[in-house]
C-alpha cells in the first residue's frame, strides 16, 4: 500500500493541477469562442520569475484577423504594483488578461509581452500559469468541502494553512457559521454561496497558491456595502507585494491602484493615478461622473465625497 501511495498522491496532484487551471481559466475562457491552440516551442525553458514585472510592448491583436482588439498597447506593471484596467465594454480589458495568460500568442511583428524580461511565447505555458493567480468574476466551486475548494490552491495544504488563508480572505467566520464548518459541502449540491463569498473562496485559494502575479476580474454586479468591504479587505491581503492587473468595473474600487489605464477601442487613451486622471478631466473623469450620478447607494456617496474632495 505504501508503494502505491506515491503514484496515487501524484495522480491526485495532477488532478488538482488540471482542476486548478480549469477553474482559473474558466471565466476568461467563457468569453472566448474557440481558443486557438497554443504550443510550447521545442525545449522551451520554464519562466523564471524574479520580480514579477510585466511589460506589454507595442502589442497589437485581432481575434479574427480583421477587427482590432488591441492596437499599440504598451505599459509596465513594475514589481509589486497594482495596475487597473478601465474602459467601456469591448475596449480590450479582458483581451489584455487573456494574452498575458497566453490563450493566444502574438504574431511576429505584433509586439511582445514580457515577464521579468522573458517573452512569454518563449517559456512553457505550465510555468507561466503557475506564476499567475486568477481571481475570476464568478468563480466556480467543486461539489466538495469548502476546505477542499480552498486547499487545492496548494498541493498538500495543511488545515491550519487553509484556515489562515480563509481568515485573510475574510471567509473564516462565515465558514465556521456552517454546521460542518470547513467540512461543509459547497457547490451545486451543497451550500450555495453568494457571489461575494465565492470570490472570497477564490481569494483564499489564490493566497495559498501564492503566485507572484495576479489577474483579477472584479464582479460587475453590485455587492452590498459590507460584502464589498470584506472583498476589498481580502484583496488588500492578496495584492500586497504582488504585481497585479485588474479589470475594474466599479471605479470606486481602484482609487488606490498605482496606475490606471483607460482603454478605448483597443488603445490606451489615458493613464495615471486616480487623482491625476480626475484632474485631467478627460475620458476617466467623464466615466467617474457617470458612475457617481448613476446610483445613490453608499458606495456612490463615497465617490461623491471623493469627487468633491
Ligand atoms: P467587457 O467589459 O464587456 O468584458 P472588454 O473591455 O473586456 O469588455 P474584450 O473582451 O477584451 O473587451 O474585447 C475587445 C474586442 O475584441 C471587442 O471588440 C470584442 O468584440 C472582441 N472580441 C472579444 N472576444 C472575442 C472573440 N472570442 N472573438 C472575436 N472577437 C472578440
For ligand 1, atom 18, the nearest C-alpha belongs to 90
Question: DSSP string spanning the chain?
Answer: -HHHHHHHHHHHHHHHHHHHHHHHHHHHHHT-SSPPP--PPTTPPPP--SS--EEEEEEEE-SSSSS-SEEEEEEEE-TT-EEEEEESTTSSHHHHHHHHTTSSPPPTTS-EEEETTEEGGGS-HHHHHHHEEEE-SS----SSBHHHHHHTTSTT--HHHHHHHHHHTT-HHHHHTSTTGGG-BBSTTSBPPPHHHHHHHHHHHHHHH--SEEEEE---S---HHHHHHHHHHHHHHHTTSEEEEE-SSGGGGTT-SEEEEEETTEEEEEE-HHHHHHHTSHHHHHHHHHHHH--SHHHHHHHHHHH-
Query: What's the pLDDT at 31?
Result: 42
* pLDDT tens track for 70-85: 999 999 999 999 999 9
Query: What mean pLDDT is predicted for residues 263-285?
Result: 96
Query: What is the rounded distance in angstroms from the CA atom of residue 152 to the CA atom of residue 137?
Result: 19
- Whether the Cβ atoms of residue 268 and residue 261 lie closer than 8 Å to each other: yes
**Residue 28 pLDDT more than 60?**
no
Residue 208 phi, psi dihedral angles, 5° rounding: -70, -40
Pick from 14-28, 43-57, 288-302: least confident: 14-28
Average pLDDT over residues 131-156: 90
Q: What percent of the chain has pLDDT over 70?
A: 82
**3-7, 138-142, 243-247, range with greatest mean pLDDT:** 243-247
* Ligand 1, CB cutoff 6 Å, lining residues: 31-33, 63-64, 69, 87, 89-95
The distance of Cα 103 from the centroid of its chain, to the nearest Å, equals: 15
Model ipTM?
0.97
Q: Which atom of ligand 1 is nearest to the CA of 67?
A: 18
Predicted pLDDT of residue 192: 87
Q: Which of 28-37, 165-174, 204-213 has the lowest mean pLDDT?
A: 28-37
Grid coordinates given for 77? 506593471
Q: What is the mean pLDDT of residues 264-291?
A: 94
CB 150 within 8 A of CB 231: no
- Going from the Cα of 128 to the center of ligand 1, the distance in angstroms, rounded, reads 23
Residue 26 has pLDDT above 60, yes or no: no
Q: Quote the ligand 1 centre to 59 CA distance (angstroms).
A: 15
Per residue in 162-199, pLDDT (tens digit) is 999 999 999 999 999 999 999 999 987 888 898 889 99
- Between the CA of 265 and the centroid of ligand 1 the distance, in Å, is 10
- pLDDT confidence of residue 33: 39
Task: Summarize pLDDT for 213-238 with one digit per residue, the tens.
Answer: 999 988 766 677 777 888 888 888 89
Mean pLDDT of 12-39: 55
Q: Which residues contact 266 (CB under 8 A, 6 or more apart)?
A: 61, 68, 69, 70, 71, 73, 91, 92, 95
pLDDT at 237: 86
Ligand 1 center from residue 9 Cα (angstroms): 40
Distance CA 162, CA 113 (A): 34
pLDDT of residue 17: 55
pLDDT, tens digit, for every residue of 82-136?
999 999 999 999 999 999 999 999 999 999 999 999 999 999 999 999 999 999 8
pLDDT of residue 305: 37
The answer to whether the CB of 171 falls within 8 A of the CB of 197 is: yes
Amino acid at each position: 500500500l505504501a508503494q502505491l501511495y506515491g503514484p496515487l498522491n501524484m495522480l491526485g496532484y495532477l488532478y488538482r493541477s488540471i482542476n486548478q487551471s480549469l477553474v482559473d481559466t474558466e471565466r476568461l475562457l467563457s468569453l472566448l469562442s474557440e481558443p486557438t491552440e497554443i504550443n510550447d516551442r521545442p525545449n522551451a525553458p520554464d519562466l523564471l520569475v524574479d520580480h514579477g514585472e510585466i511589460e506589454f510592448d507595442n502589442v497589437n491583436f485581432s481575434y479574427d484577423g480583421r477587427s482590432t482588439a488591441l492596437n499599440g498597447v504598451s505599459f509596465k506593471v513594475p514589481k509589486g504594483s497594482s495596475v487597473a484596467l478601465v474602459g467601456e465594454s469591448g475596449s480590450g480589458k479582458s483581451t489584455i488578461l487573456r494574452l498575458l495568460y497566453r490563450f493566444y500568442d502574438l504574431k511576429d511583428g505584433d509586439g511582445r509581452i514580457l515577464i521579468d524580461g522573458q517573452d512569454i511565447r518563449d517559456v512553457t505555458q505550465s510555468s507561466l500559469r503557475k506564476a499567475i493567480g486568477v481571481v475570476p468574476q464568478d468563480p466556480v466551486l467543486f461539489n466538495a468541502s469548502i476546505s477542499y475548494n480552498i486547499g487545492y490552491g496548494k498541493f498538500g495544504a495543511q488545515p491550519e494553512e487553509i484556515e489562515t488563508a480563509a481568515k485573510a480572505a475574510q471567509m473564516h467566520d462565515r465558514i465556521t457559521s456552517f454546521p460542518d464548518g470547513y467540512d461543509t459541502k459547497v457547490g451545486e449540491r451543497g451550500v450555495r454561496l453568494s457571489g461575494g463569498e465565492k470570490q472570497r473562496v477564490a481569494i483564499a485559494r489564490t493566497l495559498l497558491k501564492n503566485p507572484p502575479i495576479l489577474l483579477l476580474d472584479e464582479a460587475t454586479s453590485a455587492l452590498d456595502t459590507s460584502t464589498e468591504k470584506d472583498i476589498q479587505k481580502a484583496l488588500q491581503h492578496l495584492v500586497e507585494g504582488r504585481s497585479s492587473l485588474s479589470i475594474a468595473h466599479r471605479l470606486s474600487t481602484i482609487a488606490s491602484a498605482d496606475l490606471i489605464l483607460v482603454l478605448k477601442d483597443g488603445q490606451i487613451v489615458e493613464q495615471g493615478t486616480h487623482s491625476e486622471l480626475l484632474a485631467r478631466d478627460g475620458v476617466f473623469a467623464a466615466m467617474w461622473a457617470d458612475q457617481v450620478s448613476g446610483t445613490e447607494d453608499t458606495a456612490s456617496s463615497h465617490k461623491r465625497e471623493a469627487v468633491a474632495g
